[in-house]
Structure formats: structure tokens, C-alpha cells
Amino acid sequence: MIRKAISCWIGVIFCLAGALPALADQPRQWEFDLQAAATPVMQQIRWFNHYTLWFIVPITLFVLALLIIVVMRFRASANPVPSRTSHNTAIELAWTLGPVLVLFFIAIPSFNLLTYQLVIPQNPDVTVKATATQWQWNYEYEGGQKPLAFDSFMLKETDRANAGKTDKALYPRLLAVDNEMVVPVGKTVRVLVTAAPTDVIHSFSMPAFGIKLDAIPGRLNETWFRADKEGIFYGQCSQLCGKDHAFMPIAIRVVSEDRYKTWMAAAGQDLGAANKALMAAVDGVRAPQQLAQTVSY
């Protein structure tokens, strides 16, 4: 019986572990770890986060143990005559060399991670300019045959049915938008981030991609990502920017290269029709007949 119970619990743990990657698209209640990685950068960020815990946890427990020893052993009732030691060479060396070694083992991988994150790969496959204003995002695709630019607002509850986004598990409240940024899977995407000249500072944050970059008026910042799997991923403006700061989500839809090319070709003519046809192909949502005739996947 005990062996069967243990086997059952092990099976449950492995099933839950196998389900974790599917939760990478959006934040979840009671989440205690970083979102599951959808890009190589985020994979390294998650590794570094877990790596530092091997230093943080022992140091925290060690300090706690020292505090307990001091409280119990050196309290006034147990130690009425306090020590008058003013210098101890061994202790001085220990608390100097110890932190130096810890910082050394943390600094090296952190520098490598920052270098990998901040160096933009040459010849990106897609370049998108994200411009923030109170309280929306504008996406402009560069380098295409036809210019493509559109605004992205938080999806209102009253517009869900018309947009075909009634499934709140896929299009969650306060995170779903009317027009997502669409990018191809497995391709390097360069993102130029700024804010409107007369606006305030915003921040482009996509946790599953390991991206957080300030959008500053008059300044053009850049970052990159390469999504390893398809799906919709959600982020938010993470810089306090006014009364509707909490209602400025970011949504990126990652699709296959063929579907991306088809969407790009159709979006320049009719963005709404292209989005609904893409949803019909990816989400299994049936698009209206006239839209299916306009855009075919």
C-alpha cells in the first residue's frame, strides 16, 4: 500500500511538472516562481534565479542560526559578564573572504546573462517598433513590402463577443487586447521601444520572454527575443504612467512562419479580417464566412 501511494504521488508530481510549460502564457494565481520560459533569454533568467537560491537559502539559514545562538547564549541572564574581545583575525578573514567568493560566483554568470540579453543579434528576421501612449501601444512593422501599423487597446468586456474572444482562459480579463502583436515562431524579433514625444515614461514588459524595457519619450531603446513555441503571451506596462496604468496590457501572438506571412499579407488590407482569420486557424474559432473568403489559411 505504501509503495502504491508513493508511486501515485510521484505520478501526480510528474503530471503537474509536465503541465507547467502550458502555463507560460500569462500570470497565474498563487504562482511562486517566474513564468515558464518561452525564449532562450528567459531560460537563462530562470536558471540564474534558481542558481542564486543555492546561495541565498544557506546564507539566510546561517544568519538565522547566528541570531538564535546570540539570543540564547549571550543574553544577559545566561551571560552576565559579556566578552570584551575587540579583534579576531580568523573572523575578520572569514566575513571578508566569504562574501567576496559568493559575489564572485554570482557575478560571472550574471555578466554572461546580461551580455546575451543586451547584445542584439545581427540581421533580425522581424523588426517591430512599439510606441507607448496613455494608455495603449502602437505597433509598427518595419522592412515589409507594405507599411503596417496599428493600435493595441485592452479588450473591453462588451467587445468580447464581437471580437470572438469569449474564452477568458485564453483571453483573460485585463490582459487580452483587441489587436495582438503577431510574430513567427523560431525567428529573431527586434523590438524598438519608445513613447510618444509628449507622453510619459512607460515600460514594455513580457515576463515569459525575459523582456522589460523602458519606453521613454524622445529616446529609442531596443531589445530582442526569439520565441520557441506558439501561443499567446501576455505582459503589461510596468512603469507607473497615470490613472489607467493597470489597463495597458501587452499581448504577443506567436504563430508558424507560414501563418505569419499570410497574416502580414492580409493585415495591410484589412487588419480585423486578418486577425479573425488567424484566430480561426489557430484557436479553432470559426470566422464569419465573408472573412474566411477574404483571408485563407
Q: pLDDT per residue over 79-131, tens digit each? A: 888 877 778 888 889 889 999 999 999 999 999 999 999 999 999 999 999 99
Residue count of the chain = 297
**Residue ranges of domains in the chain:** 35-72+93-119, 126-294
- Residue 23's pLDDT band, with cuts at 50, 70 and 90, is very low
CATH of 126-294, one of 3.40.1190.20, 3.90.1150.10, 2.60.40.10, 2.60.40.420: 2.60.40.420
Residue 189 confidence (pLDDT)? 96
Q: What percent of the chain has pLDDT over 90?
A: 65
**Residue 215 near residue 138 (C-beta atoms within 8 A):** no
Q: What is the 3-state secondary structure (H, E, C) of 255-283?
A: ECHHHHHHHHHHHCCCHHHHHHHHHHHHC
* Residue 180, burial from CB neighbour count under 10 angstroms (0-12, 13-18, 19+): buried
Q: pLDDT per residue over 46-56, tens digit each? A: 999 999 999 99
* Start-to-end CA span in the chain (Å): 54
Report the mean per-residue pLDDT for the chain.
Answer: 85
- Higher-pLDDT residue of 70, 294: 70
* pLDDT reading at 151 higher than 80: yes
Residue 145 confidence (pLDDT)? 66
- Residue 74's pLDDT band, with cuts at 50, 70 and 90, is confident
